[in-house]
Amino acid sequence: MPRIQWTGLPAALRDHRISAADLHELKVWRESEPEAPEGAWYKDFGSFKICGFGKYPKTFLLREQSAKGQKL
């Protein structure tokens, strides 16, 4: 089974709109072991949002996409 390739990515995959600062903020937030509500929720990091349901993160959205649920 092949492994996921993280280097040498095509430009279309490398040139995303998520900032390094926001990715760092996500890392710090994850390490804080945040509590999650029972239903739908989202956390806005500026250049992207992470959305989840209960204790599980489900998807990432770009800044311009709207999120549903409780804002964390």
Residue 67 in any domain: the answer is yes
pTM metric for this prediction: 0.75
- Number of folded domains in the chain? 1
Residue 7 in any domain: the answer is no
Closest listed residue to residue 39, CA positions, set 72, 70, 67, 71: 70
Angle at the Cα of 42 from the Cα atoms of 6 and 39, rounded to 5 degrees: 120
Residue 27 in any domain: the answer is yes
Say if CB 40 and CB 59 are below 8 A apart.
Answer: no
Write out the residue range of the structural domain in which residue 67 sits: 17-71
pLDDT in tens, 33-61: 999 999 999 999 998 999 999 999 999 99
Residue 40 in any domain: the answer is yes
Q: Is the confidence at residue 4, as pLDDT, over 90? A: no
- Predicted pLDDT of residue 12: 66
